[in-house]
Copies of this chain bind each other. A is one copy, B any other.
Amino acid sequence: MAQSDARDRLVAGAADMLRRRGLNATSVRELAKHSGAPLGSTYHYFPGGKSQLAAEAVRLADALTVRKLTAELSAGPVDGLRAFVGMWRKIVVDSDFQAGCPVLAVSVEDQPDEDDEPRRAAAEAFGHWTVLLADALREHGAAEDAAERTATLIVAAIEGTVALCRAQRSIRPLDQTAEALENIVRSVLGAGADQPN
């Protein structure tokens, strides 16, 4: 296995653990084991320890989401929203409601101020997604403030819905949120102002 492959596998494994168990409950030893990597290699690739590895896992999830959103938003905000929803649906359903979002996971556990790289990576990730969605909404006719507000609503609502689905062991909250958000996006774009929900 090439060096970069081993490193990438550790980051992907860490992202998967964060999706399932969160940050504070996961040790570097468990992350190494989950990725099938020797413990020593973890410290070799990530001298900053768990917070460095977790931050890279958050950035991986961020980058994959940015790539997906950028590609799908080129067809318009509704298509972008559907792709965003579909991505989370697959993660939740394929894991039988055991996995969610590593970005949310590191956002809801406190980290010491001097070691909060994962939290800062999460803040950037949410920012990237919101900007992409807001830009697409504006480009398709939404007013400046409505675009930003709606983009924030979409990111927050999808993240929250993933948690609801996991708690309730049901995909129904995501179906409902997706329909509500799609109606809102259409309204904001001026295509269906008489049917806001």
How many copies the complex holds: the figure is: 2
Bound state CA distance, A49 and B5, in angstroms?
42
CA distance A160 to B155 in the complex (A): 8
A149 proximal to B (CB < 8 A): yes
- Once the chains are docked, how many angstroms separate the CA of A150 from the CA of B12? 35
Please name all residues of chain B whose beta carbon is closer than 8 Å to the beta carbon of A152 when the two chains form the complex: 161, 164, 173, 176-177, 180
> What does DSSP make chain A's interface, helix, strand, loop or mixed?
helix
Check if A59 is an interface residue, CB within 8 A of chain B: no
Out of B21, B103, B108, B173, name the residue touching A156 (CB < 8 Å): B173
In the assembled complex, the Cα of A149 lies from the Cα of B161 at a distance in Å of 12
Contact A181 B161 (CB under 8 A): no
Q: Does A41 reach chain B (CB closer than 8 Å)? A: no
Given known pairs A160-B161, A184-B196, the reply for A168 and B108 (CB within 8 Å) is no
Contact A156 B153 (CB under 8 A): no
Query: CB < 8 Å: which of B109, B157, B169, B181 contacts A21?
Result: B109
- The distance in angstroms between the C-alpha atoms of A126 and B156, with both chains bound, is 16
